[in-house]
Chains A and B, each alone.
Chain A
């Protein structure tokens, strides 16, 4: 992982975190769409950490598995939220 890739990953993570914060500030009445967006943003942040900080982008055999895990986790989290 070179410096410019790490810089890009950090900028992306800060941007996604600010996006989540702004969403939480400006959408006081949370609902299905809000929670779906927040969960997708968190999965994207987790994927950046896995691929760029943890260098999984260099392991094609494992990228798909971890991405599937993240997608499954946020889907299950959303289902549990939605059934309440």
Chain B
């Protein structure tokens, strides 16, 4: 053992709980592997993937990026503005709900055109990756609702960090699924 009790451990540098970082790294690896697998399969059929991608609503995806990074800003302000945390958290939740409504609109648009998860490899990845991400957004909204009821500095910080992880995944997922062609 090289560390003595009075020497801070390198892990003490990390903001928030260690376990939330374990979750963040795990999610980054899972979504990262999924996105690289998407690009790997795309390499075998770039023309088909480009044709399928043209059915996506890029404007809706771009709007959702701005909605989510703004929601993340509200969540960060909730942690750092203790006396108004409910107002900031409400803003984060409202924008999170907007993200899900836009996503629902996108899925409904695809369904109207007869596009589903089994339509092609592209759409299998599209629904799995964006659907899994949307489930995380929904989980974040549930966490925020719980924080409204049982707020504490530690809980708020953990909830906001979960939300930033959801934000982080989206900014990597959006360009690869919607724009790379």
Contact = CB atoms under 8 A, between A and B. Distances in A.
A41 interface: yes
Contact of A81 (B16, B72, B165, B180): B180
Nearest to B32: A73
Contact of B76 (A6, A38, A80): A6
B69 A10 contact: yes
Interface residues of B, number: 44
Contacts of B69: 10, 13-14, 17, 45, 49
Nearest to B46: A84
B73 A9 contact: yes
Contacts, number: 118
Please report whether the interface of chain B is mostly helix, strand, loop or mixed according to DSSP: helix
B136 interface: no
B86 to A, nearest CB: 17
Contact of A20 (B72, B175, B181): B175
Scoring A10, A53, A60 by chain B CB atoms within 10 A of each residue's CB, the highest score goes to: A53
Interface of B: 10, 13-16, 24, 28, 32, 35-36, 39-40, 42-44, 46, 58-59, 62, 65-66, 69-70, 72-73, 75-77, 80-81, 161, 164-165, 167-168, 171-172, 174-176, 178-181
